[in-house]
Amino acid sequence: MASIGIVYYSMYGHTTEMARTLKQGIEKDGGEAHLRLVPELLPQQLIEDQGVATVDQLDDVEEASVDELPGFDGIIFGSPTRFGNRAAQLSNFLDQTGPLWQAGELHGKTAGFFTGAATMHGGHESTILTMSTYAMHLGMVIVPAGYALGETMGATRTGGSPYGPTHWSPQGGTKDGLSDDESQIALSYAQWFHQVTEKLAA
Ligand SMILES: Cc1cc2nc3c(=O)[nH]c(=O)nc-3n(C[C@H](O)[C@H](O)[C@H](O)COP(=O)(O)O)c2cc1C
């Protein structure tokens, strides 16, 4: 059974919902999935003014730890889109993994990516690309979604991409659920990621 870490940041909870769906898909396929939220960096005043939910999410999700990463067979990284880029909170966490990079600790493990953005053309793909450079430097084996995960992938009118699962959250900060297509793509991707990870880890 492969052990997969889902390491992500979420400000309002949309990315957490995607992470939970991926976990469900991995477990349905017989794998082990661990949700890990990276630490918040926003000033406390902003958190209070904007109703940021990051801290609340830690009720049932553990905080990510750099030391734990080598114990996973594969890692799926997630971040909401920030001006077409990955969030600083995820970057800050990844920037602490220099010793793992130097020791080649993540080399050969699988890597995948997921994201959400408030507008359909506001940066889903570019955010996944900005996360993927990290995996390249660490020598991880990137598992993209491609178009072969089922009919949904080629027909979705909301999120979901060949780069990895995505979520269109048009209300911005307002919490809305994943569309049926987005859920289906995330579940299929999780199964695919688990299967590839299991083969590579064997
Ligand atoms: C500072 C900031 C920058 C953002 N930049 C973008 C962007 O470039 N494109 C976009 O479509 N949405 C953008 N958004 C919206 C978020 O990506 C979107 O609401 C996200 O899905 C929220 O995920 P979360 O609920 O996990 O925090 C931005 C939001 C914030 C707060």
Task: Give 24-54 as a DSSP string.
Answer: HHHHHTT-EEEEEEPPP-S-HHHHHHHT--H
For domain 3-201, the question of CATH label 3.40.50.360 is answered with yes
Residues framing ligand 1 (Cβ under 6 A): 10-15, 80-84, 116-119, 122-123, 169, 172
| Domain parsing of the chain, residue ranges | 3-201
Closest CA to 10 of 175, 183, 193, 201: 175
- Cα(118) to ligand 1 centroid in Å equals 6
- Cα(9) to ligand 1 centroid in Å equals 11
The per-residue DSSP string of 136-185 comes to: HHHT-EE----S-S-HHHHH-SSS-BTTB-EEE-TTTTS--PPPHHHHHH
State the chain's mean pLDDT as an integer. Answer: 92
**48 vs 128: which has the higher pLDDT:** 128
**Which are the contacts of 11, defined by CB distance < 8 A and separation ≥ 6?**
42, 52, 53, 54, 80, 87, 173
pLDDT of residue 74: 98
- Cα(186) to ligand 1 centroid in Å equals 19
pLDDT-derived band at 190 (thresholds 50, 70, 90) equals very high
- Ligand 1 atom, smallest distance to 121 CA: 11
- Cα(22) to ligand 1 centroid in Å equals 20
- State the average pLDDT over residues 75-98: 98
Which residue among 82, 171, 174 has the greatest number of ligand 1 atoms within 8 angstroms of its CB, and so is best to mutate? 82
Model-level pTM?
Answer: 0.96
